[in-house]
Structure 1
């Protein structure tokens, strides 16, 4: 091996060169396609900052009501998950109970990331909205101008966000027909796009004509995030949302990297639920998080720096008005709009044995989050807490379950 000796007079220059090269490398990240991306060009979430501190008297007045609800909804501490209620970003009440892993007897704590199922859609939508806000994408841009093989010509980014694409759920069109997909193989987002492009998968309804909640929409949005940023979905979400907000216990699931270490989920009878061929699809699901991290996310979405006012207004506009009713869907958020003018914004989730509920009472600056890794519908009942904080017509009475 040939040895290279540097003269003493050259050492400082050599070290300086190393420092320059290293500093240049710090500003870039190489993605899965070996494309160099300057991270500083990514639009990133910003924390909301300090909010008005709640008086102790106020906390003491509402905490017993929340505690009463908790004891009624999860009697005898039967919750297997995590639960948090906060106002102005200040935690009023939280509980963590049950097993993260029953075999290993590890308990769920405030730092245990649980699968948030379809609540992931809010985070995926947030990344898309930040790209729109930064001018890197347009809401009414046709999807096939970004994903070139996407077959439905009239479908736009906005239609994906609002579930108005007319597409069928990938879980259904890959389920039984082996000519479409062999369930012995893990399905990926790219596979879904390839199937749509080559297998003549029909639409459930004409593009843009009606609301149809469909996970395929958000699987495609994840591919759009990758295409626009040049990063994997996992890296893009980390760089744009998780790291800037200090969500240190949140990650987007990578099947190869995380499948042996994640918190598993369980049926109601405590039987563990294993993986299936759909567990490698992301965007519609597959984010793991904690209530405290989701609280940081929620408050950041209420920051003046989140989006430009005109775009923010579009987020909380209902787009599914073909049938009159209170329930609607905005840009990645569910809503209930009452005739009184009161609005309720939320998203629920379910995947395997995981159930989740995220509620943001925007006028009252209240965040309510419930996560469970054991199959139960009690997670969704947390909306009954809304009347504790405002004029929401959900039934909640002391002594009522």
Structure 2
């Protein structure tokens, strides 16, 4: 299987433009890992499996875990309102559970910040976005708890709640409670000093391999902003089969669908998408796209397998991952495949 996976990813690299790192597991063991291309095309420094990438929306599962840990510690409830932690928040009737499951109805902060933030040369923080929401009250897309609407705003708010409920900055909470205990030594939240360590961090690139520079939105955390490696994400994957972070019953809710109108192709838990594969297995996964990075993490609890792919060239090459999924999870005779688009890799956390 290792040689076959190497052939597939080598083909994606040479023919489809894939530039990044990959790690595949089955029954908790690494069966393949590799690195293809450059961390920075101008310097032509080769990637390796310890190179860190911006995770984009794959960060959301870590934010959700922080909330679950605080819930177990008795510092919050999923039914608490946002105002219990952010008293001046101007939108009523929104709970932590609705933020976790994308049912807040709030408008996207990446859009209204473009209109309301006075100087894009100045980084904007979570607190700054909260101030914009209080002062300008951007119109929500929907009333709370009436629609599923994928929301970056909801997850930046969750990170802000983590900071309020824990009494420490979001980045410090993540390091103390998740990254440190799991020995994820190359995982961190966005900071200029860490991202500038070019020997450890891949540079984001456009589809044309031009460098993507950080902008003022990179300093908003929770919906994105975590950097990690395929090696560290393997440690994360393995920890989710244990009680190291939260109890099993707590974690199970993160992998339980929440959408009231069931979509046969997909559901959403806490920071995880839930989808049936063609072979009948149900997997949990997330994808991400942000400023020259595309990311993908899929877990199949049935055989304790995972597919982890990180790229620093946003050229659409990860859309070909359905070929990998079909190889890892072939359809058995007598099973009717689900619709073709059920194995497509969604693009999330992107600005138009």
**Alignment partner of 1:206 out of 127, 143, 147:** 143
CA distance in 2, matches of 1:231, 1:350: 28
Deviation for aligned residue 1:307? 3.1
CA distance in 2, matches of 1:309, 1:245: 17
Cα RMSD, aligned residues only:
2.3
* Pairing of 1:153-302 with structure 2 (within 5 A): 153-176=92-115, 178=116, 181-255=118-192, 257-261=193-197, 262-302=201-241
Preserved CA contact (<8 Å) 1:359 1:383:
no
Structure 2 gaps, min length 5: 332-336, 341-352
Deviation for aligned residue 1:321? 2.8
Q: 1:342 to 1:103 in 2, by over 3 A?
A: closer
Partner secondary structure for residue 272 of structure 1 = coil
Q: 1:76 to 1:181 in 2, by over 3 A?
A: same
Preserved CA contact (<8 Å) 1:321 1:328:
no
Corresponding residue for 1:328? 267
Partner secondary structure for residue 174 of structure 1 = helix
Say which one has the larger Rg.
1
CA distance in 1, matches of 2:323, 2:96: 33
Q: What is the count of residue pairs matched by the alignment?
A: 331
* TM-score normalised per structure 1: 0.77
Corresponding residue for 2:347? none
Partner secondary structure for residue 68 of structure 2 = helix
1:368 aligns with 2:312: no
Q: 1:389 to 1:341 in 2, by over 3 A?
A: closer
Q: 1:346 to 1:108 in 2, by over 3 A?
A: same
Deviation for aligned residue 1:389? 4.3
Higher alpha-carbon deviation: 162-171 or 266-275: 266-275
Q: 1:340 to 1:70 in 2, by over 3 A?
A: closer
Q: 1:101 to 1:341 in 2, by over 3 A?
A: closer
Preserved CA contact (<8 Å) 2:105 2:142:
yes
* TM-score normalised per structure 2: 0.87
Give a deviation string over 1:86-123, Cα, whole Å, max 9, x none: 12332111111211122333221121111111101111
CA distance in 1, matches of 2:172, 2:302: 33
